[in-house]
Structure 1
């Protein structure tokens, strides 16, 4: 809780929260940079496959995050401490070195990318949850610098454009796996199973959807869908940050900081679209069709997640892993159903409209679950008081 902290302390925590939150841009930059570099190194067909691979890599990263970080933060009976595993760092380094040696090879990129993204997801999650803010700032700078140099090299059609990108990721991985004073808690087996199950149910929707777009609408639309999801992912940074903080404890301060960041990111993306920055970054796939409307809808879809994050985290803190998994299954079916209707209309704006509607429905479902469980707990406590000591 932050309400009882002195004013200067709250200000310092708010400042560090904002700085760490901004560092999340580096995580969102990697998929965008990968798509941008690929647009200049690979054929259109290869770009379509890589676009789907980016979504798959994000899904793998979410699963790794669920197993290593979220399962421990959701285990209410433990100290809920997390660390960045050395074994994951080692695998990421091997994958990065292999990618650098292979050069511009689409197959190797598709194989190595999930490992690199998993390392980034887990590393950032640990830093945010444990408030390792200084370390996270340095890691974010390294990732961002590598992505920037890689994209600039790709503009010059350099075959080695992936090397700076990968180097930045590996440097950040080393920083994030430096030793810490605490040890990781052991996740409760039941909680681990529920967390992984609901992450798999939810996360599988988007790579599957993009694979269907690639099959039915073609590689250009698959690239644009990934680019739009990646660009709008800038809004997901404060939302993911908020979820991590709320899994630890409820904080009105972090909610306000995150909501302000979502609004600022929304405005920034509209400005970048207006000045043609995304045409420049993503090349012909972006400029081949009108992207303003789908971008607005994609951003609205992301922003609507703010309404789902708060009750979702509250249920997690209560230890209601089974209930959350059930609700997530319902939400995933709703999401895929509405997105599939949009896909049947052969329109990316319709797909993002379906995702937005599903997100709003999800917010209602999670809030209903939170209130129902809270009422159940209060009624149970009242009955115990009335019955008295046995």
Structure 2
């Protein structure tokens, strides 16, 4: 039998190169984006290292079975699910489920709640903001003194929950089911930030705060973080996160962020499709039709037109100054691939006009330079 290829859903992302700084479910996310026409580059800045064979995790699990908790805190879906899988591998799943069944179970968000339900349990409360701060405040207000609390942590640590509960008199049992490790392919991460800073990437997607922070650190090491910041502010680069927690390190770095509404991969994909296929991407109305730009070409009047890197750079500079004249000297700076010929700009503009199928989009301003010929200019 031959494998079947799923039919494309749209061409909304045609010409877009998208970096996904994601480890878990990277294949699923890649496939979803490709069905809308995107070219995807996987560059997880961190890897997930499971603790399934960790003797300490199993010892803590046995201690919870022997002395069941009053309260169970689930901070992540992958972590809680991994805990159940580790218990199953050690033939402790039935005993663990029984030990947790009489506890008050709280979840940091819907993913954790889903994992709780998958284990045959029920969440008594879910943090609406999906933050550890809200979860901690809720339990402290409810009263934790004298309570035994099992806290399942995410890979980057406790978020201060252990310390908070202990400071209010609780007996805390801490579990870290997985941890963040180094990237599986550091070269891919390095290349992804270089391409992003160089304008050859249209979007970078993040699904974890530690992964986002590490990708930003890589961008800073490569000296391109300022350019990433500039391009995101100018609307030329989409930085999208799966939820508000993931967005925090990006926001702290002063980056312009789009956050998926529902904190799901499907919602993240929809936000990217809406950005490029809807009203999110920078676009102008020229005499030749509505124009927007992707790293692989231009969309003019609803039609994607593949363009060379030089042509994209040239149009990008004009698009950053819509309707304004851009001098030949300034355009020359975007044409380093064309050499230093005095006619390089004229030749490049001619090629772009030919590719677009109209001379009207780019207007020559004699002795000054070029500009996009916008519809409002003629009003």
Whose helix proportion is higher, 1 or 2?
1
Higher relative contact order (CA 8 A, sep 6+): 1
Same fold (TM over 0.5): no
Whose strand proportion is higher, 1 or 2?
2
Instruction: Give the structure with higher Rg (CA).
Output: 2
Report the TM range for the smaller structure's normalisation.
under 0.3
